[in-house]
Structure 1
């Protein structure tokens, strides 16, 4: 676990239709579906080869009644759960689910001071044990925070998780800020546009062919909200929503056939966000940002 500390180490989809969602992502990303349910919990694993990458569970009925919607939740590995949750309160964040033992380890669901949700985990039983695998198909290769104000929220993550601003030559006025964990650049932060209803984390799944994967998104009942967008490192991205309403993104090569770029007027994000994301990730090519 030591090499995972401070990194996203596990991901879960909380959804209203777990079997359908599992079939959707298996088709789109190429994951294999494996039942990991117990008498206490219905749980599905999606694996890349033999390696578990993400888990799926039902969105609790109480949450649905309170207005919760399907979403992806990223887990960051920490060393001391009680110390970190106490620290979150001191830093202005919130504890949404207090530390508790679960099927994947000891967890807590938290929110940063601007309301973006993530989770903490110790004693993880699944996950990406080798950070060098983050650039492989089927892995989660990038993490993006859409913040209310990214310049004000970064110190929270820096103090809590030890994240650092990535040391790259970038325009000081850039609105996209890369961050690293244990010397590896793993994501970026930007101030969201008003059309994005609340601060949130967006996770990018690696695929061999973004164009083909985007066609599968549409064919299986999801929607491509934005893209394909070309980045300067020969990587393409699309931002999507699954059939149950959870946001996610894909990244990889693109065959440039069979799908047209989406119109910004069709989605809640403005065309400016496309420029922001591309400009921000321009400063660190994929091969460098994913190097351990």
Structure 2
């Protein structure tokens, strides 16, 4: 992972406020070399509508759900970004009360800031960081919309389709990662699931809501990585759309506790993702 930034965040509001944002996933972003192809792929797989053209000077396209809400954004991966070590990837934004204080704390713990923190007017203060195992993500202090000062992000929802429903970290040091995220973002770690040789799949919670899990990185995964699971209406329909759209199914669908199904895949440009939803057929 390069020490320099390989992405500049979006210029549109995340519709999140400081209230309750500390430690919450408040935005998700796909960095890809082909935003047009990404639109074709994810619109079909998840049911989103990605903007056909960027709405501002930056090549950044908003992702809209069928209910009219935002699901995240898509940024074009440039040759310059590739030169700094960039690759197609989904990144999450974690809300914090104070970006600069958070960065100082993260670096003290062995993490790293990949860019100087900066402000986007009417959006918030943002910086890309890594955890001590090198896993990239953003931290952000969002600016709430002037006409909705109490609004909060709804891009994550543990049960709804077209939202991110689960955040899964595969890491080279599970114990250190649990310590890092619980101490820096106020998460709790309660409960787990035995994965045999892979050890425990440790559930994490934010404000009492299960937001995901932290697991040991499998040997075939070259780096520690966050995977974000998008809710779909029908896992079999979505699986077929992944294959038809030129993506790859890496694992699954497999049944998960509660009776739904999940799978892991790669989009045609090489970004990894997860899907979760019911089986209707």
- Counterpart of 2:32 in structure 1 is 15
Residue by residue over 1:164-213, the C-alpha shift from the partner in whole angstroms, topping out at 9 and shown as x without a partner, is: 112x4866995211111111110000011111000010000000101100
1:65-86: CA deviation from partner (whole Å, max 9, x where unpaired) = 2442100000001100110001
- Gaps in structure 2 of 5+ consecutive residues: 1-16, 146-150
Given the two structures, how large is their TM-score scaled by the length of structure 2?
0.84
**Partner SS, residue 226 of structure 1:** strand
Distance verdict in 2 for CA 1:196–1:124, change over 3 Å: farther
1:187 correspondence with 2:234 = no
* Partner of residue 173, structure 2: 149
Asked if 2 retains the 8 angstrom alpha-carbon contact of 1:22 and 1:44, the reply is no
C-alpha change, 1:148 and 1:17, in structure 2 (3 Å) is same
Change (3 A) 1:95 1:140: same
Q: Give distance in 2, aligned partners of 1:171 and 1:222.
A: 30
Contact 1:10 1:128 in 2 (8 A): no
SS at match of 2:180: helix
C-alpha deviation, 1:121, in angstroms? 1.0
- What are the superposed Cα offsets for residues 76-127 of structure 1, whole Å, 9 maximum, x if unpaired? 0110011000111111101112211247432110001011111111125699
**Does structure 1 residue 99 correspond to structure 2 residue 123?**
no
The answer to whether structure 1 residue 24 and structure 2 residue 48 are counterparts is no
Question: Partners in 2 of 1:68 and 1:240 — Cα distance?
Answer: 19
Q: Choose between structure 1 and 2: higher helix proportion.
A: 1
- Residues 64 and 172 of structure 1: CA distance in aligned 2, closer, same or farther (over 3 Å): closer
How many pairs does the alignment contain?
254
Residues 229 and 274 in structure 2, CA contact (< 8 A), matched pair in contact too: yes
1:64 lines up with 2:89 in the alignment = no
Moved more, 172-181 or 188-197: 172-181
Q: Note the aligned Cα RMSD (angstroms).
A: 2.2
Question: What stretches of structure 1 of length at least 5 have no aligned partner?
Answer: 257-292
Match of 2:62 in 1: 45
Contact 1:26 1:46 in 2 (8 A): no
